[in-house]
Amino acid sequence: MQNQPNTTSSSSSTTVDRHGIIWIEDPTSTTLSSSQTSNPIVDNDFLSGSQHFFDIDELLRNLIGQKDLVSREEFKPGETIYLCVRCQLGYHEDSYLYINNRCDQCQTNDKITAYTLPHHLSFDDYYNQGISAFNHKNYEQAINKFTRALSLDPNHTDAYVWRSDAYIQLGQYQQTIEDCTQIISIDPDNIPAYVRRGFARLSLEEYQQSLEDSNRAISLISLTFNQTDTNSWLSQAYAQQGDAHQALGNTNEAIENYQKSLDIVPNDDLRAKLDALNNAKNHLFEQYFNQGVTLFNKAKYQQAIEKFTRALTLNPNHIPVYGWRREAYIQLDQYQQAIEDCTQIISIDPLDIPAYVRRGFAHLSLGEYQQSLEDSNKAISLSFNQTTAHSWLSQAYVQQGDAHQALGNSNEAIENYQKSLDIVPNDDLRAKLDALNLTNANNRLFEQYFNHGITLFNQEKYQQAIEQFTKALTVNPNHIPAYVRRGFARLSLEEYQQSLEDSNRAIRLISLSFNQTDTNSWLSQAYAQQGDAHQSLGNTNEAIENYQKSLDIVPNDDLRAKLDALNLTNANNRLFEQYFNQGITLVNQENYQQAIEQFTRALSLNPNHANAYVNRAFAQMELGEYQQAIDDCKEAIRLNPNHVNAHQHLTNANNRLFEQCFNQGINLFNQDKYEQAIEQFTKALTLNPNHTDAYVWRSNAYIQLDQYEQIDLYQQTIELCTQIISIDPHNIPAYVRRGFAHLSLGEYQQAVDEFEEVIRLNPNYADAYVNRANAYNYLKNYEQALNDCNQAIRLNPNYADAYINRAFAQMELGEYQQAIDDFKEAIRLNPNHVDAHQHLNNAKNRLVYQYFNQGINLVNKENCQQAIEQFTRALTLNPNHTDAYVWRSNAYIQLDQYEQIDLYQQTIEDCTQIIRVDPHDIPAYVRRGFAHLSLGEYQQSLEDSNRAISLISLTFNQTHTDSWLSQAYTQRGDAHQALGNTNEAIENYQKALDIAPNDDLRAKLDALQNQVTPSSQVSTNILTFDEFYLDQIVENQENTAQVNKMLKILGEDIPKNIQLDVEIDNFSKKPEDNPFEMEFVFQEILDILLESNEFDIDASYDPIKIEVLTDQAHENIESLFEEADHEISTIDLLQELQLAKEKLQARDYEAAIEKFNLVLNHNPDEFEAYYHRGIAYAEVGLYSNAIRDFNKTIALNKYNAEAYFQRGMNYKQTGDYKQAIRDFDFTLFFKPNHSLAYQNKKQLMNL
């Protein structure tokens, strides 16, 4: 980019030339002045190595060549030139820069005393370093310097400008955008910032944002007083706009902006781009235009319109294209669009005659006769004295004639038709003219019939009058008074509907008339007539509305009195409407109770309003008052047998009442309230006699009550139906009832036979197919069940039970997706179907399980890519299935190992999803840490490893997490090594090896320890600090061994054994009471300094700093002692847990439960206590309590196969076989060789 800011430092007292060279007095002769020392020469960034040297001759040649600097001849003996080049040169902090034996004029034999350079540079130093690096095209170094400068002055816009230019040079456009945005936040009117940001966004293909920035720059420039200074930016902004528009396909806008740019600042490259764009545009325009003409000639008008439209986007002022597109619109009867095209032509050329003629034709086709007349008149006025316009003139006269004829101006129509024929003879038009002349003759005949009708009406001969008016209307179908007169005659004969039709026709014709003032009297009469007809038909509101319309046109005292009387009668109706509408509003607000009250009030005013009953029924259904809803629906149907909503709501209410009774029955059954359950099942069967599950549940209730005689009723039903069939072998209901009885008794094959006979007698009986499919499902003949359900659906596509039974069969055949689709269809048909909702979830779970197992098998076969697809499908159905995320992340990692595909990012995403579902999932943190480590994201890897270690430390039994803990420490060591933290890396590798020995890791640790020399392990800071506390350490030297032992106990590696409480007892005093306080404090301070990498020599002698560190050390030691106290209580819990296990082994279950309760009161997350207490509960028959404990165990440790197995055994005891099978499946997943889980699952599957 151009126009960089001023490079002169504004605040530093040190002289800096634009090559970045500083002159310093000889340090051997004088000390540095305060002004020199206050402005640092170099900083630690520049001091990065000691092997570099200066090409002094070259530097001096550059130096002497500048007019504003001293020459070589002015150098005085005894002085040394210190040069500091501000780019890419550096030395260690304790190094110094000097020149010796390089310059004859400046040579000196004095040794140079090393000066420690000041620790920080000023803003101007960094700023000028950045400019020097930029000018030497070292853009990365320049960015670094400008960044440091901005850290000292975040609001210095010039520094942002320089850095943004450096980013652009490196193609780092996103960073350019950020810098320009920062400039704008400081100076919202900074024109170059908008232009630069627009350029960066253009380079990132963010065209819309680039346009916005360019527009803003142009807008700001337009507001400047002297725009000459901004011409370069203005030209660049227009050029960028052109590029953005071209990229977006806006060719015209691109050309316009390029031209504006060139008008400001000529540019050959831009001129060539503009010429090429214009040529391409013209060529493309011709192509679209010719294609449009070709398509038009082939009668492909819509495609032609598309081509013409594309051509017009390239040349919006091309009249022939508008003309062709107009004709295409007319061919498609799209007259409004044709009008718009004609109007556009006229705006370009106001004398274009065809445009006026064709627009007149379009208006005429739309019934806009006045506008058509205006356009035709304009065309005629332009056509005179133009021989070439004769054809258009003739057409204009024809259109005028058509418009006049439509308006009823027959004479004017005849005149214009004749003028057209005089110009261009036309047989069709001649025929139309002759017909119009004939129409005039018919008008005379019309008058004869009409007047005769009026005479007969006045004589109250209404039927004869109607006949005459009808004859008159046959001659003139648009005569308004004839319709009104005939309507009155029909009203007098009580032919109300026909009267309404006549008055409606009259009103419609009046609305189309050009001058409605002349028809006001007839319009008022038509509305009054409509009001009389509606009142006679009982349509009070419509009558009132029409009377009012009549009075608004022509006031009338008699009609006003009639209207007032009708309004009084309608008061109750309005009150009814008020209550009814309030009820509707409350229903929409789901305030059903108050809605019922409003509908009840409405019905008290009008008890025969079917809609009020229907809406009250809906509100009652939403409140679960199904019986009341049924009663209201039946009343609505009595009032209106064809009321669709009433029938629909009645069906829904019946279904809901059935589901309510059925579900209440199940709940009562589960509460051992069998008699009440039987009542509910009986009510349900009254509503749906074909629901086999209700029969089954009721029979089970009878069995629980030892009422086997009720079961005998099924046998009696079979016998009775058999007798009926012996008399009437074609009695279908008898076969159906006998089939249900067999189903209820579990005699499924006999049920199949019965329904088969029903199908033989009636092949279109859908219920029979569904019931036979139900029996087939019980017989595990799923293919036959599928066939029957398919046939039932063919017969009745809206049969929900058919979809449900087909779904059952598909589930058993492993076709879970098809089953899911069928359950969804059943729910769509019957949203309240309980079985459908329940089994839909079951089918989804099975499909998830299928995908999940297939994925595991594919991983084991090292086919990881297909495995990922299966796990992904499982997660689509169940986004919270953490095990699927775990396995998929493993597959991603294996792909990376085997095929060198970088899929670590997917691993990170999967582990993040696992953590979202379960924030305590240790493996997820470890795997994500590994992925971050592999991507070089060491800090994130450290955070994940730390989190995993923290979670493991909170688990009571860490044995099962040792592998993860060792891996976390190893990863943490790798991250620290990559970050250069050697001591931390060694420490973590050692911890990993202490948990899980590993030869490779041991070799890595040995190699790392060999690299560390004793001199590099202890810094000057620590030695200095050691001296500060030397006297305190010597005093307590005899206690060092004990102190070290204490420190080990208080560190991270506290031994987990029973002797711990004894060791801590010996050193349980707080630091302020402990005679070895100084050693503790000193050791802790050393740790703080090492961890923070704080090696500030001056701070080592600063008493204030020492006091702060000492306070922090005290706090840390206090925390360590608290952790030690916690360990003592933890050991007590260990003893209690062990005692509880001993009680359990001794079969003293109640005592064991008490002990486990004690442990859990102190540590609610101790999963072993939940697990063993669950076993104790199961032994004493408290299966529900046991299940709760195993649920908690699994929540705390979801990989515990035995917890799943024990929970499955308890589900088996409670009769919940599906849950039991599911838990046995989980057991086998985590422990495939678990024989007891396999045996129990097989046993339950056979049931």
Q: What is the pLDDT of residue 1123?
A: 57
Digit-coded pLDDT (tens) for 117-165 = 444 689 999 999 999 999 999 999 999 999 999 999 999 999 999 999 9
- Judged against a pLDDT cut of 90, whether residue 731 lies above it is answered with no
Q: What is the pLDDT of residue 712?
A: 65
CB-based contacts of 925, cutoff 8 Å, min separation 6: 911, 915, 944, 945, 947, 948, 951, 968
- Closest residue by Cα to residue 582 from 566, 560, 601, 565: 601
Q: What is the pLDDT of residue 896?
A: 62
CA-to-CA dists, residue 1221 to 1209, 1241, 1244, angstroms: 9, 5, 7
Task: Give the separation between CA 1106 and CA 1077, rounded to whole angstroms.
Answer: 15
Digit-coded pLDDT (tens) for 1067-1116 = 333 344 444 445 455 555 555 554 555 434 334 434 555 566 666 666 77
Query: For a pLDDT cut of 70, what percent of the chain falls above it?
Result: 75
Confidence of residue 210 (pLDDT cuts 50, 70, 90): very high
Confidence of residue 575 (pLDDT cuts 50, 70, 90): confident
DSSP helix/strand/coil, 496: helix
Q: Name the amino acid, one letter, at 271.
A: R
- Judged against a pLDDT cut of 50, whether residue 32 lies above it is answered with no
Counts of helices then strands in the chain (DSSP H, E): 62, 0
Lowest mean pLDDT among 284-298, 413-427, 870-884: 870-884
Task: Output 881 or 955, whichever has higher pLDDT.
Answer: 881
Q: What is the pLDDT of residue 1136?
A: 84
- Judged against a pLDDT cut of 60, whether residue 67 lies above it is answered with no
In the structure encoding, which two tokens stand for residue 528, read together?
Answer: 């009054």
Task: Output 385 or 49, whichever has higher pLDDT.
Answer: 385
306-345 b/e with 16+ CB inside 10 Å = b?
bbbebbbebbeebbebbbbbbbbbbeeebbebbbbbbebb
What's the whole-number mean pLDDT along residues 669-688?
Answer: 87
803-816 b/e with 16+ CB inside 10 Å = b?
bbbbbbbbbeeebb
Task: Give the separation between CA 333 and CA 146, rounded to whole angstroms.
Answer: 68
Q: What is the pLDDT of residue 792?
A: 95
Confidence of residue 559 (pLDDT cuts 50, 70, 90): confident
Q: What is the pLDDT of residue 92?
A: 32
SS3 helix, strand, coil % of the chain, rounded to 5? 75, 0, 25
Main-chain phi, psi angles of 250, to 5 degrees: -90, 80
Identify whether the C-beta of residue 515 lies closer than 8 Å to the C-beta of residue 531: no
- Judged against a pLDDT cut of 60, whether residue 97 lies above it is answered with no
Q: What is the pLDDT of residue 359?
A: 95
Degrees to nearest 5, angle at CA 239 with 237 and 242: 110
What's the whole-number mean pLDDT along residues 175-187?
Answer: 93
In the structure encoding, which two tokens stand for residue 1235, read together?
Answer: 């024989």
Identify whether the C-beta of residue 867 lies closer than 8 Å to the C-beta of residue 855: yes
What's the whole-number mean pLDDT along residues 820-830?
Answer: 92
What's the whole-number mean pLDDT along residues 408-419?
Answer: 85
Confidence of residue 798 (pLDDT cuts 50, 70, 90): very high
Lowest mean pLDDT among 231-235, 813-817, 857-861, 1199-1203: 1199-1203
- Closest residue by Cα to residue 1142 from 1130, 1155, 1133, 1132: 1155
Task: Give the separation between CA 912 and CA 172, rounded to whole angstroms.
Answer: 30
CB-based contacts of 284, cutoff 8 Å, min separation 6: 314
Q: What is the pLDDT of residue 420?
A: 86
In CATH terms, the fold of domain 438-569 is 1.25.40
Q: Is 171 left (phi over 0), alpha (psi -120 to 50) or beta?
A: left
What's the whole-number mean pLDDT along residues 169-178?
Answer: 93
- Judged against a pLDDT cut of 50, whether residue 90 lies above it is answered with no
Q: Name the amino acid, one letter, at 280.
A: A
Q: What is the pLDDT of residue 1172?
A: 92
What's the whole-number mean pLDDT along residues 785-799?
Answer: 94
Task: Give the separation between CA 582 and CA 288, rounded to whole angstroms.
Answer: 60
Identify whether the C-beta of residue 1170 lies closer than 8 Å to the C-beta of residue 1193: yes
CATH 1.25.40.10 positions along the chain are: 287-425, 438-569, 930-1017, 1147-1246
As a whole number, the mean pLDDT across the chain is 78
Determine how many CB atoms are found less than 10 A away from the CB of residue 1160.
Answer: 19
Task: Give the separation between CA 214 and CA 243, rounded to whole angstroms.
Answer: 11
> In the CATH scheme, what is the code of domain 930-1017?
1.25.40.10
Q: What is the pLDDT of residue 1054?
A: 32
In CATH terms, the fold of domain 1147-1246 is 1.25.40
Q: What is the pLDDT of residue 148?
A: 94
DSSP helix/strand/coil, 67: coil
Q: What is the pLDDT of residue 212?
A: 93
Task: Give the separation between CA 369 and CA 1141, rounded to whole angstroms.
Answer: 102
Digit-coded pLDDT (tens) for 600-622 = 999 988 888 899 999 999 999 98
What's the whole-number mean pLDDT along residues 1140-1150?
Answer: 87
- Judged against a pLDDT cut of 60, whether residue 376 lies above it is answered with yes
Q: Name the amino acid, one letter, at 735.
A: Y
Identify whether the C-beta of residue 855 lies closer than 8 Å to the C-beta of residue 870: yes
Helices 1103-1145, 1077-1092: inter-axial angle, 10-degree rounding? 100
Task: Output 215 or 104, whichever has higher pLDDT.
Answer: 215
End-to-end CA distance of the chain: 81
Determine how many CB atoms are found less than 10 A away from the CB of residue 886.
Answer: 20
Identify whether the C-beta of residue 1061 lies closer than 8 Å to the C-beta of residue 1021: no
- Closest residue by Cα to residue 732 from 713, 695, 764, 759: 759
Q: What is the pLDDT of residue 1232?
A: 65
Task: Give the separation between CA 1197 and CA 926, rounded to whole angstroms.
Answer: 16
CA atoms within 13 A on the CB side of 876: 9
What's the whole-number mean pLDDT along residues 781-809?
Answer: 93
Identify whether the C-beta of residue 618 lies closer than 8 Å to the C-beta of residue 587: yes
Task: Output 1082 or 830, whichever has higher pLDDT.
Answer: 830
Task: Give the separation between CA 1112 and CA 1090, rounded to whole angstroms.
Answer: 14
Count of residues in the chain: 1247
Determine how many CB atoms are found less than 10 A away from the CB of residue 641.
Answer: 10
- Judged against a pLDDT cut of 90, whether residue 511 lies above it is answered with no
Note the Cα 1023 to chain centre separation in Å: 59
pTM of the model: 0.30
Note the Cα 129 to chain centre separation in Å: 47
Confidence of residue 704 (pLDDT cuts 50, 70, 90): low
Most confident segment among 14-23, 54-63, 71-80, 203-212: 203-212
- Judged against a pLDDT cut of 90, whether residue 1018 lies above it is answered with no
Q: What is the pLDDT of residue 1238?
A: 74
- Judged against a pLDDT cut of 50, whether residue 1026 lies above it is answered with no
Q: What is the pLDDT of residue 120?
A: 67
Task: Give the separation between CA 798 and CA 493, rounded to whole angstroms.
Answer: 50
- Judged against a pLDDT cut of 50, whether residue 75 lies above it is answered with no
CA-to-CA dists, residue 1084 to 176, 726, 1016, 1050, angstroms: 46, 102, 20, 11
Confidence of residue 563 (pLDDT cuts 50, 70, 90): confident
Digit-coded pLDDT (tens) for 439-482 = 766 777 888 889 999 999 999 999 999 999 999 998 888 888 99
Identify whether the C-beta of residue 478 lies closer than 8 Å to the C-beta of residue 509: yes
Query: For a pLDDT cut of 90, what percent of the chain falls above it?
Result: 34
Q: What's the CATH class of domain 287-425?
A: mainly alpha
